């Protein structure tokens, strides 16, 4: 059974600092998704990583995928308060039609 593990589950950062969120998964997959969820809101797609070595950047967030290590990272550069949210990684299975989500990383950026 596919397991997706994120760490840390809770992250409190100061504004301006850098940090990395990790997503490990247990079975072979050639793609991975990152989503953001604000409190009481739905999930917003951030990144779709489609191959080994894929790297995507949007603003202060950069995501990468290492399919051989079954690891994805979401790197935060010079955090700002607006980045406070819960971040989920998700790995597809069942012929890429279903997704298994990690438990989420709840990020709080303090001034």
Partner 1 sequence: EAGVVQSPRYKIIEKKQPVAFWCNPISGHNTLYWYLQNLGQGPELLIRYENEEAVDDSQLPKDRFSAERLKGVDSTLKIQPAELGDSAVYLCASSNAAWGYNEQFFGPGTRLTVL
Q: Which residues bind partner 1 (CB under 8 A)?
A: 4, 31, 33, 35, 41-45, 48, 50, 88, 90, 92, 94, 96-104, 106
Q: How far apart are CA 59 and CA 66, in angstroms?
A: 21
Shorter beta-carbon distance to partner 1: residue 91 or 109: 91
Least distance between partner 1 and beta carbon 103 (Å): 5
Span between the terminal Cα atoms of the chain, in Å: 41
Least distance between partner 1 and beta carbon 53 (Å): 16
Q: How far apart are CA 95 and CA 38, in angstroms?
A: 29
Shorter beta-carbon distance to partner 1: residue 69 or 103: 103
Shorter beta-carbon distance to partner 1: residue 37 or 73: 37
Chain-centre distance for alpha carbon 57: 12
- Structural tokens at position 24: 């490990």
Least distance between partner 1 and beta carbon 60 (Å): 22
Shorter beta-carbon distance to partner 1: residue 83 or 100: 100
What burial class does residue 84 get, using C-beta atoms within 10 Å of its C-beta: 0-12 exposed, 13-18 middle, 19+ buried?
middle
């Amino acid at each position: 059974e596919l397991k997706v593990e994120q760490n840390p589950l809770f992250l409190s950062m100061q504004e301006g600092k850098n940090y990395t969120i990790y997503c490990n998964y247990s079975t072979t997959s050639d793609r991975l998704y990152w989503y953001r969820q604000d409190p009481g809101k739905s999930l917003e797609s951030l990144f779709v990583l489609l191959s080994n070595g894929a790297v995507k950047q949007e603003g202060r967030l950069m995501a990468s995928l290492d399919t051989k290590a079954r690891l994805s990272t979401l790197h935060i550069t010079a955090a700002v308060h607006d980045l406070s949210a819960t971040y989920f990684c998700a790995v597809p299975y069942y012929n890429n039609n279903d997704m298994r989500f990690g438990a989420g990383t709840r990020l709080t950026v303090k001034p």
